[in-house]
Structure 1
Amino acid sequence: MIDPNQNSIQSPSAPTVADANKPNSGLSDAAKDFEALFLQTVLKQMRSASDVLAPEDSPLSSNKQGAFRDMHDQTVAQSLAGQGQVGIAAMIERQLDPEKAGEAAAALREMRSEASAMTVSSLKKPIDTSSL
């Protein structure tokens, strides 16, 4: 997009000043990008493990085929990260966003107190020795 005031070309998705003033404005995007990169690496390693088993004269082991597989893996990884079903991006956001980190810490404390209460109550029950 051309900005008539600056005579320069800008990307339509370029961050604005208002976006920069928001706390953690790019955290979600960065977390999704990291998740996509991680998933792409996992897919690439899975492919390389299967390539070891393929014969060298196989038509599926060419360099051109490998380039297309890499592009396909990148697209699959970005799609999986965009759907948010893996959960890596959500975990990163919870850990790095102060507001979400506080909520996660409170939930963890509650789970720990419930677990300790269950443990203490189970210890207070008498042991049934009649079946021994």
Structure 2
Amino acid sequence: MSSYRTTSPQDLGSAEARRSSRSFLVFLAWIGAELAAYAALILVASDTAPRNCGGLCFSPRGTLILLGMMFGLFVLVGQLIIGLLLTTAFTRRRMTSLAAGSAAFFTTLVLSALVITGLAITQR
């Protein structure tokens, strides 16, 4: 008897689903690293407000938290949606899980940086 086993379409579909889920887990790990870096930045930032401030004054930590609530949450949701679509597309191109998840994260990182820069320029 031969030990050669033919692959069925169900096996190929389940293998692709496993690779896609692993790619998305790699993408989520990169998002977790991004959030951890932002949390570390908030913890390191000074919590003292500027002196002789006559109006509404925020400390650097308060400014980072305010910007995170106003813009960061929307950017993060956009990054997750686009990252899910890109991870699926990269996985279909037969990329490895690490390559697909990393490529999706860095593509969304560049896209979100371009959007934020564009918004900052138009508000000027």
Interval of TM-score (by shorter of Structure 1 and Structure 2):
0.3 to 0.5
Name whichever structure is richer in helix by fraction: 2
Query: Whose radius of gyration is greater, 1 or 2?
Result: 1
Query: RCO (CA 8 Å, sep 6+): is it higher in 1 or 2?
Result: 2
TM-score, structure 2 normalization? 0.35
TM-score, structure 1 normalization? 0.34
